[in-house]
Structure 1
Amino acid sequence: MAVKPNNFVAGFEPPAYLRELYDCRLCEWRCSVNRLEGGKGVCGVGIPVVASSMLHPAPPASYDAFLVGCNFSCLSCQNWMVANYPFTKVSSVEGYYSPQDWAAKAVKALNSFEAGLIGADRLFFTGGEPTCSLPWVEEVVRQAKKIDKNIKINFDTNGFLTKESLKKVLGFVTSITYDLKAYNNDVHQALTGAPVEPVLRNAEQIARYAKEKLWEFRILVIPGVHESEVGDLCEFVAGLDPGLPVAFLAFRPNFVLENHPGATRKLMERCLEIARRKGLENVAWSGLPDIPPGPGFNPKDLAGKGEEVLMGYAKKAGCTQRTRLCGACASRLAGGCKLRKHIPRRTT
């Protein structure tokens, strides 16, 4: 049974497995805040909270925990209500579950008739960014394996983990789905609010030590931004191992980029051509292409380099930083980030 997070903080002694949250350094922001006594870092998360739990058909088919909060602030976020909770104040959440309760609920769901219909065969931790709730995820996995020692686990991540957190994740997962948002730091920072180096470092570690666990590297293709990024990203992955799976995702207008044009079919096919030319052997694309821009789109918004396009949108939505670096933003850390509170008028 889930309880609302404010009741948990007020009425319960934090369990031992959450001790890391007294001095949180789970991701590369290394905020060192006491999340169990009200401290909030870049992710804005206190105790781990499940926004929703559901069977989900998207590969890999699974039973998912959507965990609130994120250590990125992606302008293109499709799960912005979950990632920015409670700042958006528009999404209800299930609340805090004890790991035993959620594990039992999840294993039961995986054994259901409905799970069989879609081929769901694993637990899938996503969000938001599940790294922000890693101690809870670890304990859920321990409890789930008491029920079914062979249960499969997927961790869905933006890659901004510390080396220590990545080692923990690779120790319990069956598969990992991993976002590569950009290769060049200026673009990555403008899109996500975070530097790219840890993401590339961790991708290298996965390729070197756990490539059999990589379900796929995912690259979201945003028109006007990623035309110059795709080649660099493909060259990077090919340099790790040309056989690694790469999935290009067609951008759909969302969140701060709600009026931006969607990726065209032609652009997605070009991505495959570039990937193969760079030596990648296992590439595909998916998504709904050719979504037109919204009524607020101005063709001038596409003028300039990718990072300039993105920063233009960020500033229109209220970001006051010259270059986006959320870990150094006093407004973000104080809970006043306007991007976190942005509510789009259009979703696709």
Structure 2
Amino acid sequence: MTIWKREFKNCKLCEWKCGVNRLEGEPGVCGVGMPDIAYCNLAQVLRSYSVTMLGCDFKCIYCNAYRLSQYPGSGWFYRGYIDPKELATEAVSRINSPEGRAMHVDKISFTGGEPTIHFPYIAKVVEEVRKKIPELGVGFATNGFASQHTLQQIIDLCSYVTFEIKAFNDDTHRAITGAPVEPVLRNAEYLIRKGRDKIRAFRTIVIPGINDTEIEEIAEFLVSIDPSVPLRIIPFRPNYILYYHPGPTKKRMDEIGQAVLKTGLENVWWRGYYPMEVSKQAVEMAAREFKGVKQEGARLAFAYSKLAGCVKADRNCGECPVKLNCPAGLKEPWLLDV
């Protein structure tokens, strides 16, 4: 048996510590066996070759990637298992490709799902990639539910970690994720004290009426350890089990952001909200720049496209000079105030 597979034989990578033999297909809470890949891509925003893993040790009711996180129970099909050396070869090729060089890709990052449950595999992939690109950075996005042993390995391996705290109180955290909050808060403190230089950001998703009164408590918790750690406050958008639950208004996001600042946390960022009404900016642009269009709905749609970066006023993609590298998109919707 290859060394990196050994921890899957008695899996205790996350705080559930199921002890199942994933090599033999025994399912733990996450439900997965050998590490499976959903897809890989060059991520321009992070300047990274991003590897999206399947499966998760949480069952979040608002998950926007539930087809990935609840795999294989979701019934969707993806790339599946890829030998670490094969994936490493693919990553090096894409990083060194003209597209990768143009994006200045300087790292490989792992997300999901939850990459913690596949950590030995990830470490092997990184080992193989660094044989060709020794200085390559490593990014890791996590829900914070790793065992302490795994968390230390994550700190040792990675260049940066994005860590999500979904709630502060245990009842709320269990209601949202199906898991207790104590290991997450324990790991957040450990990461700050033992791997402060590895923290890209802590993240919290604001869900109105569910966890929005706890964001300030999360901030106070972080301040008590290190007031300089970055917190990113992101608005919930209806999805999965909470498909019919509304997201936060701009007013509510601003209220929360200002309250968090008052806790003494020094590095706080929030932006975006759930639009309860049609964008005023889009309406004004539609009236101003697309008044020659007969249909009111078409004017509004043209305006949204232009706000997102479309350079072709008539939206004739077939004749667009940049159709093969379209600048219009909302890869990070919260960065566009409309």
Q: Could you tell me which residue of structure 2 aligns to residue 245 of structure 1? A: 230
Q: Could you tell me which residue of structure 2 aligns to residue 86 of structure 1? A: 72
1:16 Cα offset (Å): 3.3
Question: The residue matched to 1:228 in structure 2 has which SS?
Answer: coil
Asked if structure 2 preserves the Cα contact closer than 8 Å seen for 1:181 and 1:219, the reply is yes
How many residue pairs get aligned? The number is: 278
| In structure 2, distance between residues paired with 1:245 and 1:163 | 22
Question: The residue matched to 1:45 in structure 2 has which SS?
Answer: coil
| In structure 2, distance between residues paired with 1:249 and 1:165 | 27
* Residue 103 of structure 1 pairs with residue 71 of structure 2: no
| In structure 2, distance between residues paired with 1:187 and 1:57 | 34
| In structure 1, distance between residues paired with 2:97 and 2:235 | 32
- Residue in structure 2 matching 1:49, options 18, 30, 36: 36
Asked if structure 1 preserves the Cα contact closer than 8 Å seen for 2:20 and 2:26, the reply is yes
| In structure 1, distance between residues paired with 2:103 and 2:213 | 37
Q: Could you tell me which residue of structure 2 aligns to residue 72 of structure 1? A: 58
| In structure 2, distance between residues paired with 1:82 and 1:244 | 29
Asked if structure 1 preserves the Cα contact closer than 8 Å seen for 2:110 and 2:140, the reply is yes
| In structure 2, distance between residues paired with 1:88 and 1:224 | 27
| In structure 2, distance between residues paired with 1:206 and 1:185 | 20
- Residue in structure 1 matching 2:7, options 7, 20, 23: 20
1:72 Cα offset (Å): 0.3
- Residue in structure 1 matching 2:147, options 162, 167, 175: 162
Q: Could you tell me which residue of structure 2 aligns to residue 130 of structure 1? A: 115
Structure 1, 125-134 or 110-119: larger mean CA deviation: 110-119
| In structure 2, distance between residues paired with 1:57 and 1:285 | 21
- Residue in structure 2 matching 1:153, options 121, 138, 150: 138
Alignment of 1:279-298 (within 5 A): 279-287=264-272, 289-290=274-275
Aligned letter for 2:74?
T
Q: What do the CA deviations read for 1:107-155 (whole angstroms, capped 9, x no partner)?
A: 2222233234444321111110001111100101111111111000011
1:285 Cα offset (Å): 1.7
Q: Could you tell me which residue of structure 2 aligns to residue 175 of structure 1? A: 160
Q: What do the CA deviations read for 1:196-221 (whole angstroms, capped 9, x no partner)?
A: 01100111011111111100000101
TM-score, length basis structure 2? 0.79
- Residue in structure 2 matching 1:201, options 186, 208, 224: 186
Percent same amino acid among aligned pairs? 40
Aligned letter for 2:257?
L
- Residue in structure 1 matching 2:260, options 275, 293, 301: 275
Q: Relative CO higher for 1 or 2, CA cutoff 8 Å, sep ≥ 6?
A: 1
Q: What do the CA deviations read for 1:219-261 (whole angstroms, capped 9, x no partner)?
A: 1011112231011001011111111111011111111001111
1:291 Cα offset (Å): 5.3
Question: The residue matched to 2:162 in structure 1 has which SS?
Answer: strand
Question: The residue matched to 1:171 in structure 2 has which SS?
Answer: helix
| In structure 2, distance between residues paired with 1:126 and 1:48 | 13
| In structure 1, distance between residues paired with 2:114 and 2:178 | 14
| In structure 2, distance between residues paired with 1:267 and 1:117 | 39
* Residue 216 of structure 1 pairs with residue 201 of structure 2: yes
TM-score, length basis structure 1? 0.77
Aligned letter for 2:106?
D
Question: The residue matched to 2:156 in structure 1 has which SS?
Answer: helix
| In structure 1, distance between residues paired with 2:242 and 2:149 | 33
| In structure 1, distance between residues paired with 2:276 and 2:143 | 25
Aligned letter for 2:59?
S
The runs of 5 or more residues in structure 1 that have no matched partner are 1-13, 293-347
Q: What do the CA deviations read for 1:77-134 (whole angstroms, capped 9, x no partner)?
A: 0110011111111x32111111111112112222233234444321111110001111
| In structure 1, distance between residues paired with 2:251 and 2:101 | 36
Asked if structure 2 preserves the Cα contact closer than 8 Å seen for 1:252 and 1:291, the reply is no
| In structure 1, distance between residues paired with 2:272 and 2:23 | 39
